[in-house]
Amino acid sequence: MRVLSQRSLKTPLVLFLILSVIVGSVAVARFGKSVTSAGPLDLAGVNNFAILVNTYTNAGPGTILNGDLGYTVPPANPPTVTGTTFTSTSPTYVSAEAIQAKLIASANDPAQSGACTTTLTAATVLDSLPQPLTPGVYCIAGAVSINTVTTLSGGGAYIFRMGGALNTVAGSIVKLAGDARADNVFWVPIGATTLGANSAFAGNVLSNAAITVGTKVSMDGRILSNGAVTTGPFDTITTPKGITPPVDTTPPVITLLGANPQIIQVGGIYVEFGATVSDPDNVGLVAIIDSSAVNTSVVGSYLVTYDAVDPAGNHATQVARIVSVVAIVSTPPAAVITLSGQASCQTLGGTWTSASSTCTVTTLTINSGNTLVIASNVTLSNTGLVTDLGTITNGGPVTNSGTITIGPTGILTTTNTFSNTGTITSSGTITNNGPVTNGLTGTITSSGLITNTLTGTITNLGTITNSGPVTNAGTITNSGTLTNGPTGVITDSGTITNKNAGIITTSGTITLPTSGILTNEPGGTVTSSLSIINSGSITNSGALVSSGPITQSATGIIVNTASGLITNSGILTTSGTITNSGPITNSGPITNSGHIINSAAITNSAVITNSGSISDSCGGSIGGVVVGNPIINACVP
């Protein structure tokens, strides 16, 4: 090789060539950093939670959560919580659950959280990689484990997208160095997460699968899970405080729930509909309500005021609701009145709008023995109070933004569109043959009979609470909250679909005949504490949590997909077929005289009595005691 002399290095040509190489190297280095990198995910609405979960179990004493706690199914042994505990009926919890589902989707979406900056095609031990790890998006095809110490160093976001489980060995450490902050670290496993005993962990775990935190784990971060979480004993989970936040100058915003104006018949009872308070910097704020001016014994208009203030002293703009106390207007003595135009609308005390053929009522009572028939060419719009003690049949559309009360003798039969954004309370009978939509602000509470016929469709975006029988031969789609009380019975011979962020909670009975279909989509939660009787088909891709008995006949089928999680602490008796591709955690007895086909993990702490067949394909595992017929290993390498 020829060595350049000091003199030759100084020639213009050589200097030019050297400079070109240096500039080119700098350019390459700069463009190498221009790969799309991760940005911190927006934790607004969930940032105060140490644990936000559907089903929470705390295994022993001494567990401390330095932050908020939210759950649908509570722990029998509550931990110490330094923040606020929110249950499934809390608007803060419902909002946080929806935000959490979007966070998990966003973390897995390169378009929203950044393309992969590091790609690993197999299961990876993070501490075997060159340390420290720097900010970026780590896309790992298999499971991730931390055996000793993994160091994250540098300001910016760290997103770990995993195609499998996340496991930390006992005594392992996730160490933050430089400007790395737990707020900006996101662990997004597809499979279950296990944090080993006496380990130190940092970051936010976003998962639809089960999460288990071992004994004496110290965690600087959050657990945001759509599945089941088990902690303790003696764990400490601290919500990251991050850097000193900027001064909060944003006032809260108040949103009224229910109708405004609120119509009450004279002599009636004032019911407070409430309001939500939203604030990007705070959760759990409540409205200060002053309804002292309302007098339901005197006809007139009254003002109810709503105020709110955040911890920084920012006051919301006051919101007011008008409460109108009105005289009673009943249907005329005629047994049947047909709403077909302006004259009949005025007979009902309504206001007629010719352009849309709409009759708007603010107060209406259908007495026992009377019938109101809404013609197909007319829309009935209620903005106040309708009391049904007789029969209402809608051949035309009905829109309700007020209150409809169906008494014990009342009957509501729908054959046309029925849209509710207000409140419906029924102790009578509701029969649906057409499409019913319960909007985001809509509330339906029934202690009577609800029948959804073969042609009926019920779409729920709000809240349905049932303590009476529901018979479904049509289609029910839930994206809100559907609660079936202890005395409630849901019989489904049609289709019930629980969408992403939808919550179905039942302490009553759900029965599926052979034609019945229940589908729980990813992000959905079905919680049962009484009884599920299945002769039809259940497909679970979300979280199905049961503490009551599940009984499945020979025609029954349960399919748990790869994204599904079934947690059972009750009795599972099946003579049908169960196909499992996702995790099942069982602490109650299983009696099988049918077929169980398994390709995932079944974690079992109770006895499985098998007089049928259980087959384990590749990737499947069943832990615990099996009595009776042995498990068939169907894995063909």
Residue 30 pLDDT greater than 80, yes or no: no
Using CA atoms, how far residue 5 sits from 2, 14, 16, 19, 21, in Å, is 9, 11, 16, 17, 19
Which contiguous run of DSSP H or E holds residue 498?
strand 495-498
Residue 3 pLDDT greater than 60, yes or no: no
Residue 29 pLDDT greater than 80, yes or no: no
Phi-psi category of residue 313: left, alpha or beta, with phi > 0 → left and psi -120 to 50 → alpha: left
Give the C-alpha separation, 231 to 229, whole Å: 7
Q: Sign of dihedral through CA atoms 255, 258, 261, 266? A: negative
Range with the poorest average pLDDT among 82-96, 521-535, 581-595: 581-595
Highest mean pLDDT among 48-57, 399-408, 473-482: 48-57
Residue 283: pLDDT band (50, 70, 90) is low
% the chain with pLDDT above 70: 91
Give the C-alpha separation, 191 to 567, whole Å: 15
pLDDT tens digits for range 342-387: 989 988 889 999 999 999 999 898 988 889 999 999 999 999 899 9
Terminus-to-terminus CA distance in the chain, angstroms? 56
The pLDDT of residue 448 = 87
The pLDDT of residue 442 = 87
Say which residues have a Cβ less than 8 Å from residue 194's Cβ, sequence separation at least 6.
165, 166, 167, 168, 211, 212, 214
The pLDDT of residue 28 = 29
For tokens 């829109």, the residue is 399
Residue 246: pLDDT band (50, 70, 90) is low
Mean of per-residue pLDDT scores for the chain: 86
The pLDDT of residue 232 = 84
Give the C-alpha separation, 637 to 635, whole Å: 6
pTM: 0.53
Residue 432 pLDDT greater than 60, yes or no: yes
Do you find a cis peptide bond into 522, omega within 30 degrees of 0? no
Range with the poorest average pLDDT among 280-284, 436-440, 594-598: 280-284
pLDDT tens digits for range 505-530: 888 889 999 999 999 999 889 988 88
Q: Could you tell me which residue, 311 or 555, shows the higher pLDDT?
A: 555
